[in-house]
Amino acid sequence: MGVRVDLRSDTVTQPTSAMRAAMMSAPLGDDVFGDDPSVNALQERIAVLTGKEAALFMASGTQSNLCGMMAHCERGDEYIVGQNAHTYRYEGGGAAVLGSIQPQPLVQNADGQMSLGDIAAAIKPDDPHFARTRLLCLENTWNGHPMPQSYLQQATDLARQHGLAAHLDGARVFNAAVARGGDALKNLRNIVDLFDSVSICFSKGLGAPVGSALCGSRALIERARRWRKMVGGGLRQSGLLAAAAHHALDHHVDRLADDHALAQRLAQGLAGIEGLKVRSAQTNIVFVDVADGRGPDLLAHLERHGVRATGLIGLRFVTHLDVDEAGIDHAIACTQAFFAQGASGSASQAAGTAVY
């Protein structure tokens, strides 16, 4: 078998041997009792990095966003969120189903931004006809786009003026911080300082096998801790997992720039191909629109040659820790070959459209 490269998501990474070693040697305790030194150290560290009072280690980003939203809102409250935002579209409707929190989804532009006018118009007056608008949820990066600081500032200012809290789904906020260039941790602070709470994934570009953190005020985190237990996220010797996240913070932050460079390399390699339109490569995600409904055939062709991606009309390629230049060059070469043959072929198995 030739070169194989899995570009479906940055969630597919395998823990490195150094990360596995860190996991195996982590001191452990029962975290439901608050006894796990590795979990406690991670929570303190990520709270300091984000400039928040406290943090809570979570099983997943979905759980972290859910517990965060439930800690901000009560039954009958409402959150404002993008129509295509993860917390609205890709989390099973958890805020509504489990939290009795009504979503108010709004249209987003190509960069993922809701207009300030739409946000302002969606905030309900205090009137028993309406749900109580309590929270604005933003996402950064969104579809690989780092949100401009000016937009984040304006949107969160608007939320504050209306007494709303602001939560950031920062699953890939380290990618946004690194993409700005310079001191990534300083950039991170500039972004998250605008928000009351932030959820960060360790299991995406940072390369840990499991885990996210919710960061916010001590009071918010204590409320979230109760919800986390209720949704089954009270883990025991989870220091095993926290140690992986700790290792990721030590070794895998600055190297996100390598993922971004590989995404750039892929985007440039695909840019010249007739029949393709490359949409974004600012961080580690590249979207490619495929003309003439040939997306599924291209995907199947790539799969046969050891290149995995997701999508249907628009294909999505995500770079990560387990991707190198050889893999990217192979993906480019296979794509060129597909269009060079002018292969049309029969419609192949449909690929999923979900964005993980």
Instruction: Give the footprint of ligand PLP on this chain (CB under 6 A).
Output: 60-62, 65, 86, 139, 169, 171, 201, 203-204, 212, 356
* 130: three-class secondary structure by DSSP: coil
Decide: 26 and 243 in contact? Cβ < 8 Å: yes
Q: Which is nearer to ligand PLP, 58 or 165 (CB)?
A: 58
* Smallest separation, CB 341 to ligand PLP (Å): 34
Decide: 225 and 215 in contact? Cβ < 8 Å: no
For tokens 């028993």, the residue is 128
Here the tokens at position 316 are: 């999505």
Do the strands 132-139 and 54-58 form a parallel or antiparallel pair, or are they unpaired? unpaired
Nearest-CB residue for ligand PLP: 61
* Smallest separation, CB 181 to ligand PLP (Å): 22
* Smallest separation, CB 329 to ligand PLP (Å): 26
Q: Which is nearer to ligand PLP, 204 or 246 (CB)?
A: 204
Q: Which is nearer to ligand PLP, 155 or 332 (CB)?
A: 155
* Smallest separation, CB 90 to ligand PLP (Å): 7
* Smallest separation, CB 335 to ligand PLP (Å): 24
For tokens 């700005």, the residue is 180
* Smallest separation, CB 205 to ligand PLP (Å): 10
Q: Minimal CA–CA distance to 351: which of 293, 285, 305?
A: 293
Q: Minimal CA–CA distance to 71: which of 88, 55, 50?
A: 55
| Residues present in the chain in total | 356
Q: Which is nearer to ligand PLP, 65 or 197 (CB)?
A: 65
* Cross-strand pairs, 183: none
Q: Which is nearer to ligand PLP, 201 or 323 (CB)?
A: 201
Q: Which is nearer to ligand PLP, 139 or 297 (CB)?
A: 139
**What's the CA gap between 201 and 198, in Å, rounded?**
10
